[in-house]
Amino acid sequence: MLKPLTDKQTKPNIKPSIFSLELHELEAWLTDIREPKFRGKQIFEWLYKKRVSSFEEMTNLPTGLREKLEKDFYIKPLKEVVRQESADGTIKFLFELQDGYSIETVLMRHEYGNSICVTTQVGCRLGCTFCASTLGGLKRNLQAGEIVAQVLQVQRALDVTEERVSSVVVMGIGEPFDNYEGLMSFLKIINHDLGLNIGARHITISTSGVVPYIYKFADEGMQINFAISLHAPNTETRSRLMPVNRMYPLNELMDSIRYYIKKTGRRVTFEYGLFGKVNDTVEHANELADLIKDIKCHVNLIPVNYVPERDYVRTPKTQIFKFLETLTSRGINATIRREQGHDIDAACGQLRAKERKEETR
């Protein structure tokens, strides 16, 4: 079992973000301070439609209410400390939080729209042996509002050209299910029609396989796309790559995924990073096909991103195609993930690790 997070990790000593509140929570706060409920919608409109960055700008609210908001909540935009633009249009942001920690957010441009990859935790405690996000462990969970603020900040950058964030992937730094409550509020706020109004089918979350939360998530009945970082065709290899597998072994993980599919009727995506000689042979592909043949899924093959602190090697292109062909010939739906932002440290945690050595040691 993962140990419960400490108070310092879940309740950092910082001002609550106004963007953490779902509409009904904002309305409850208003009721508490004897303000009319309809102010909730007005505030939401200022936050998400007009995208103001101070309470002062909310000119249709009484001054007293603006002062109360100011006293109780944090509204300042995330501070952009680094912006890296790739030749392919990908932009990676390093943002600084109220308490000085830093997080990464990535904007990817596709023909079908703008997609953004958000971070859910400062660091990560799951210790996947190939991942840069886990260097330095977990500092703290993000408040829901700090995840929302990432989308808002990128949306502000896109406002200049009248573009829109059209999809969101929760695949940045951190394990989303390790910050379950924050994640759920985040999803509800960006999905809300008075919030950022991003459709559930345009949102994808990815987990390393924290099994109890897969059951919980299945029961939420959300139409959100769901991905699992599988990375191995058997439990021994998976434990080697991902220590979380020692807590929630592969057979338990697969059971929870079957439950999810049964409950939601949706298919899942398996992310499978190809790590030279570790999990990338034709035998591995056949073993993988055996493992998932009865599961409604799609496999996303990811050529490994080299992380200097980690010593995995990339699988040669011809070998990647052989792996893909083996899966396809076995009737498994699979594609190779297109790489973006390769020239700008765009893989999880790479930019933060480079820029903030003291945070990730």
What CA dihedral angle connects 122, 160, 85 and 117, to 10 degrees? 40
Residue that the structure tokens 């939420």 belong to:
220
Interaction with ligand SAH in 315-354: which residues (CB under 6 A)?
A: 347-348
Shortest distance, CB of residue 275 to ligand SAH, whole angstroms? Answer: 8
Stretch that binds ligand SAH, among 31-39, 55-63, 90-98, 205-213 (CB under 6 A): 205-213
- Establish if 167 lies at the interface with ligand SAH (CB under 6 A): no
Q: Which of residues 193 and 339 has its CB atom nearest to ligand SAH in the complex?
A: 339
Report the Cα 28 to chain-centroid distance in Å: 28
In the shown chain, the binding pattern of residues 254 to 293 toward ligand SAH, with x for contact by CB under 6 A and - for none, equals: -----------------x-x--------------------
Cα–Cα distances (Å) from 142 to 9, 90, 179, 206, 315, in that order, read: 9, 24, 8, 16, 34
Question: Is 283 considered catalytic here?
Answer: no
- Would you tell me how many other CB atoms lie within 10 Å of the CB of residue 80? 13
Instruction: Check: CB of residue 251 under 8 Å from CB of residue 209.
Output: no
Backbone angles phi, psi at 96, to 5 degrees: -105, 140
Which member of 27, 104, 146, 271 is catalytic? 104
Can you spell out the DSSP letters for 321-358?
Answer: HHHHHHHHHTT--EEEPPP--GGGT-STTHHHHHH-GG
Q: Which of residues 95 and 226 has its CB atom nearest to ligand SAH in the complex?
A: 226
In the shown chain, the binding pattern of residues 298 to 317 toward ligand SAH, with x for contact by CB under 6 A and - for none, equals: ----x-xx-x----------
Cα–Cα distances (Å) from 332 to 89, 96, 296, in that order, read: 32, 42, 9
- The full length of the chain comes to 361
- Establish if 131 lies at the interface with ligand SAH (CB under 6 A): yes
Size, binding site for ligand SAH by CB under 6 A: 17
Instruction: Check: CB of residue 104 under 8 Å from CB of residue 92.
Output: yes
Backbone angles phi, psi at 101, to 5 degrees: -70, 160
- Establish if 208 lies at the interface with ligand SAH (CB under 6 A): yes
- Establish if 141 lies at the interface with ligand SAH (CB under 6 A): no
Neighbouring C-alpha atoms within 13 Å toward the C-beta of 12: 20
Stretch that binds ligand SAH, among 90-98, 153-161, 203-211, 213-221 (CB under 6 A): 203-211
Q: Which of residues 65 and 168 has its CB atom nearest to ligand SAH in the complex?
A: 168
Residue 297 labeled ligand binder: no
Q: What is the DSSP letter of 117?
A: E
Q: Which of residues 122 and 307 has its CB atom nearest to ligand SAH in the complex?
A: 307
Distance, CA of 113 to CA of 115 (rounded, Å):
6
Shortest distance, CB of residue 194 to ligand SAH, whole angstroms? Answer: 28
- Establish if 130 lies at the interface with ligand SAH (CB under 6 A): yes
- Establish if 136 lies at the interface with ligand SAH (CB under 6 A): no
Q: Which of residues 16 and 127 has its CB atom nearest to ligand SAH in the complex?
A: 127
Distance, CA of 55 to CA of 76 (rounded, Å):
9
Residue 199 labeled ligand binder: no
User: What is the radius of gyration, based on Cα positions, of the chain?
Assistant: 21
Q: Which of residues 18 and 304 has its CB atom nearest to ligand SAH in the complex?
A: 304
Question: Is 104 considered catalytic here?
Answer: yes
- Binding positions for [4Fe-4S] cluster: 124, 128, 131
Give the catalytic positions in this structure.
104, 348
Which residues form the interface with ligand SAH (CB under 6 A)? 128, 130-131, 171, 175, 206-208, 229, 271, 273, 302, 304-305, 307, 347-348
- Binding positions: 124, 128, 131, 174-175, 206, 229-231, 305
